[in-house]
Amino acid sequence: MTVITRFAPSPTGGLHIGSARTALFNYLFARHHGGIYKLRIEDTDKKRSTAEATHSLLDGLAWLGVAHDGEPIFQSSREARHREVAEELVTRGQAYFCYTTAEELKSQREAAEAKGEQFKYDRRWRDTSETPPAGVQPSIRIKAPLTGEVVVRDAVQGDVVFAADALDDFIILRSDGTPTYMHAVVVDDHDMGVTHIIRGDDHLNNAGRQSVIYTAMGWELPVFAHIPLIHGADGAKLSKRHGATSTTEYAAMGYLPEAMRNYLARLGWGHGDDEIFSDTQAIEWFTLEHIGKAPARLDYAKLNHVNAHYLRATPAAELATLMGMDTKHAAAIESVKSKASTLVELKAQLEFYITAPIAYDEKASAMLAKNGVNIPLILPALEALVEPWSAQNVKAAINDIATATGKKIGELMPPLRAAIVGAMSGPDIPDAMAILGKAESIKRLKTALNA
């Protein structure tokens, strides 16, 4: 059997980070088994689905690097097939035309609520010899079981039991001829040959109803695997108040897609104590058995740790391109990338290379006030330094001054850093001066003396 998985988002917004993890899990599982991973855009909700959101979803998936097989399938293009199956279910005696109007349903619901009861459709048209009312376009409802129970054998959650009396005769085809989500999903998954449905556990209740349709059509049930949702650090369901929720936002915050794949794979799934691993390893190791039942918590400290690892491993020239910078800045990037967790932080670390400080932060100002007198001791030696102007030669010259004056390196280097960077953090200062060049380095030192 060829394993076939799918990711089926609704195009009503960007790619949510939880949806991105669902896509990743489906991708990893299919690749682990040498199978097929498909993408289906569930755009049947015409009021909420937009072309802009579809493009945003596709862009988010492209950024994440989770490539689907074949062209995306758009659910809206399959409405004729959805109607065909709904009508076949009526022919089979597994569904029926319902002539109850929206107004009648509203009245029944209000009556139930007035009594403090949960509303349930009364199945009036399920088995009746009544003559259909003239001028009423019927919907089609599935015949849910009246007794017993429906069992969903879930690869993550275990057996989940739905009592028959909890399943109503839900609508599968609306009176306007459009399919409901519950029905379209089943038809599409069956026709696409989906063998494993890996999705968020907020869909677990849907699995009971969808199983009814599979059974009514005599179709083989896929393997369900409902994964816990991602929560914030406070244990609540992830929302805007916890920070970024879409891949677009994470990209703008300077996270690398390979780091995001690594981190998302560890949210709710694991391979022992391994925290950092390649895509190849993730594919080799990924199984449903290692998905946990408890919600995973988004931890920015861990995400930053993972992203910092990938920043350090990425060639400086490639990082320059990702930040929209000229590759001539590669040496500068190499000097500071170990001190950054994101591309945004990295770009901030590079600012002093590109623009000389026009002001000094509080710590740098205090350092210049305290030890700035040491800069004139160093300037002549640096001005006299002949080519090559290198970090090694700059450091040697400073060491010679320290020996000649009896000063400690700890007294000479900090004011240089304050003058060159404008702050007391950054790369090794001889490296920074070598990258800036002799003229720029001396200019900054002289500027600091006059500040």
Q: Please list the active-site residues.
A: 240
DSSP state of 229: P
Backbone CA torsion sign across 225, 231, 237, 240:
negative
Helix axes 429-436, 343-354, angle to 10 degrees: 60
Among residues 351, 270, 258, the alpha carbon closest in space to that of 308 is found at 258
Q: How, if at all, do strands 139-142 and 171-173 pair? A: antiparallel
* Residue 294, both tokens: 């408890």
The CA distance from 300 to 36, in Å, is 32
**CB distance 180 to 207 below 8 Å:** no
**CB distance 435 to 332 below 8 Å:** yes
The CA distance from 142 to 404, in Å, is 93
Q: Which strands make up the sheet holding 158-163, listed edge to edge?
A: 158-163, 149-154, 223-227, 196-200
Residue ranges of alpha helices (H) inside 177-218 are 181-191, 204-217
Tokens 């299919």 locate to: 30
Residue 96 phi, psi (nearest 5):
-150, 160
Residue 163 phi, psi (nearest 5):
-70, 145
Q: Hey, how many other C-beta atoms are within 10 angstroms of the C-beta on 33?
A: 18
Backbone CA torsion sign across 44, 49, 50, 51:
negative
